[in-house]
Amino acid sequence: MSMPDEHTVRAEVRAWLAEHWHPEQDLVEWRGILADSGWGMPHWPRAWYGRGLPVAMSAVVDEEFDAIEAVGVARIGIRLLAGATLLEHGSEAHKRRFLRPILTGEDTWCQLFSEPGSGSDLAGATTRAERDGDDWRINGQKVWTTSAHHAEWGLLLARTDWDAPKHQGLSCFVIDMRQPGVEVQPLKQMNGYASFNQVFFTDAVVPAENRLGEIGDGWKIAMTTLAHERRGADALRRWGQAPARAGRIYDQLRAEIASVLEPYKWYPQRAGRVDLALPRARETGRIADPAVRQELARLLMLSSAAEWLARRARAAHELGRPQGPEGSLGKLAGSEVARQAARVHTLVSDAEALLAGRDGPHDGTIAEILLSVPATSIAGGTDEIQRNIIAERVLDLPREPRLDGGPFRDVPRNPERGR
């Protein structure tokens, strides 16, 4: 199959937009038309709301959308991780039922993986799923669950077999978050937002058809989700911004951003807002200080090189070459960039770095960066876990000696916490 070139793709998407796009239509209806056309997720397969184009072409399509400020499908947040996971592991019925409302933005999703006793060590999950006739009954607790307070659906990792070894006793489910057995409590973060939650399950119900993959496939499926999360780490920099324009669809988009996208409002800040560094160094005059210049140069070098490394990974992927080390390095590079950015923003802001909110530099954005960056090296797999992965999978260094083999019920673990 020959791939269409950039010129053809551009012309096609432009023509399609000219025919279908106008800002006075309903947001969900528009996204439905867009999803069905395949232009919403051009790199997804043709059978499922895509056009089977290389990932690089998605950027071309994005440019055409941006040029006329056309609204895209709902791509921000956990729901897209769920979409990618369903695309890979879901049955025909799952895809038919769940994918389209993800893209139209009707459904919000959350990722129910981490627990109080198992974060880095996700395979240690103790939330239990037990058979009850044709259904599954869920009991236990999840934590740090982003968007759970808005979510219609959750991607749940739960233990189905306590006698199997740790990684083999897990299964994956799609759980309806709007049911009596599911209780969501927001957790306030150090930056003041409350985008994650704790989630308690008390005899919550999952019908048999909402199990993903086979019983015991949970670990494999969760790894797919995490791989997308880690690879997409840089995509978190884009947080929805509605064009300041009149039109019914823009009003609806603004409402969406203020509600279900609110948890991601600070995500650009957590990545460090490299874009603000040079302009602010100029505005404040701090660019004249040699110490500032050194750190600023370091930051800009690091972040551009990280971008090129990511592009190298994509280029290799698209040429069908085996994945090089660059594929695993992106998330760690992102943490490095975020930390360096926080250092630079502090240097540039100087005494003003003491201040937040309306008194703070850049309307409080700098304070928000300084208080959000620590999340980058934790969420989606900590830096230490990324280093372990690089060392063991890329460099093939010997694994850690492990103390968690054998039946899971005998594995040493954290005491279970009551409420």
Partner 1 sequence: MRFSFSDEQEQFRAVVRRFLDDHAPPSAARACMASALGHDEAVWARLADDLGASGIHLDEAHGGQGFGQAELGIIMEEMGRALLCAPYFGSAVLAAGMLRHGATVAEQAELLPPLASGARRAALAWVEDAGRWDAAGITLAAGRDGAAWRLDGRKRFVVDGLCADDLLVLARVDGALALFLVAGDARGLARRALEVIDPTRRLAEVDFTATPARRLGADVDVDAGFARLFDEALVALAGETIGGARRLHAEAVEYARLRMQFGRPIGSFQAIKHQLADRLLDIELAAAAVNHAAAALDENDPAVSAFAAQAKAMASEAGMAMAACAIQVHGGIGFTWDHDTHLWYKRAKSSEVLLGTPAWHRERYLAALEANA
Ligand X SMILES: Cc1cc2nc3c(=O)[nH]c(=O)nc-3n(C[C@H](O)[C@H](O)[C@H](O)COP(=O)(O)OP(=O)(O)OC[C@H]3O[C@@H](n4cnc5c(N)ncnc54)[C@H](O)[C@@H]3O)c2cc1C
Residues labelled as active-site residues: 229
3-state secondary structure of 321: coil
Residue of 298, 407, 409, 414 that binds partner 1 (CB under 8 A): 298
Cα–Cα distance measured from residue 197 to residue 175, given in angstroms and rounded to the nearest whole number: 16
What value, to the nearest 5°, has the Cα angle with vertex 346 and ends 343 and 352? Answer: 175
Instruction: By CB under 8 A, name the one of 188, 305, 323, 406 that touches partner 1.
Output: 305
CA atoms of 62 and 42, how far apart (whole Å): 10
Instruction: Decide if 299 contacts 338 (C-beta within 8 A).
Output: no
As separate numbers, helices (DSSP H) first and strands (DSSP E) second, the chain gives 13, 8
Q: Residue 120's binding partner, choosing from partner 1, ligand X, none, with beta-carbon cut-off 5 to 8 A by kind?
A: ligand X
Q: Does 378 bind partner 1 (CB under 8 A)?
A: no
CA–CA distances in Å: residue 317 to residues 114, 311, 324, 363? 30, 10, 9, 41
Burial 308-334 (b: 16+ CB within 10 A, else e): ebbeebbeebeeeeeeeebbbbbbbbb
185 belongs to the binding site for ligand X (CB under 6 A)? no
- Choose between 5 and 132: whose C-beta lies nearer to partner 1: 5
For residue 85, the minimal CB distance to partner 1 (Å) is 27
Strand ranges for 160-216 from DSSP E: 170-176, 182-187, 196-207, 211-212
Contacting range for ligand X; rule: CB under 6 A; set: 46-54, 139-147, 159-167, 401-409: 139-147
Question: What CA–CA distance (Å, rounded) separates 157 from 142?
Answer: 9
Stretch that binds ligand X, among 10-18, 31-39, 109-117, 123-131 (CB under 6 A): 109-117
Query: Which of ligand X, partner 1, none has residue 258 at its interface (CB below 5 to 8 Å by kind)?
Result: none
Residue 125 binds ligand X, judged by CB under 6 A: no
- For tokens 């020959």, the residue is 2
Beta carbon of residue 114, minimum distance to ligand X (angstroms, whole number): 3
**Residue 269 beta carbon to partner 1: minimum distance, rounded to whole angstroms:** 23
Which of residues 113, 200, 264, 266 is near ligand X by CB under 6 A? 113
For residue 293, CA distances in Å to 3, 119, 271, 282 come to 45, 38, 21, 11
375 binds ligand X (CB under 6 A): yes
Among 384, 392, 410, 416, binds ligand X (CB under 6 A): 384
3-state secondary structure of 109: strand
> CB–CB of 55/317 below 8 Å?
yes
Judged by beta carbon, residue 41 or residue 110, the one nearer ligand X is 110
Strand pairing report for 109-112 and 182-187: unpaired
> Least distance in Å: CB of 320 to partner 1?
11
Q: How far is the CB of 318 from ligand X (least distance, A)?
A: 29
Check binding of 322 to partner 1 (CB under 8 A).
Answer: no
Nearest to 325 by CA among 393, 380, 226: 393
Buried b (16+ CB within 10 A) or exposed e, 375-414: bbbebbbebebbebebeeeeeeeeeeeeeeeeebeebeee
Among 130, 384, 410, 416, binds partner 1 (CB under 8 A): 384
381 binds ligand X (CB under 6 A): yes
Cα of 20 vs its chain's centroid, Å: 29
Q: Does 60 bind partner 1 (CB under 8 A)?
A: no
In the bound state with ligand X, the residue whose beta carbon lies nearer, of 204 and 379, is 379
Does residue 215 touch partner 1 according to CB under 8 A? Answer: no
Closest approach, Cβ 193 to partner 1, in A, equals 29
By CB under 8 A, which span of 145-153, 202-210, 226-234, 299-307 interacts with partner 1? 299-307
**Binding partner 1 by CB under 8 A: which of 25, 232, 388, 413?**
388
Contact pick of 215, 302, 355, 378 for partner 1 (by CB under 8 A)? 302
Q: Does 259 bind ligand X (CB under 6 A)?
A: no
Task: Give contact residues for ligand X (rule: CB under 6 A).
Answer: 78, 110-111, 113-114, 119-120, 144-146, 196, 375, 378-382, 384-385, 388
List interacting residues with partner 1 (CB under 8 A): 278, 287, 290, 293-294, 296-298, 300-302, 304-306, 308-309, 311-312, 314-316, 319, 321, 325-326, 329, 332-333, 336, 384, 386-388, 390-392, 394-401
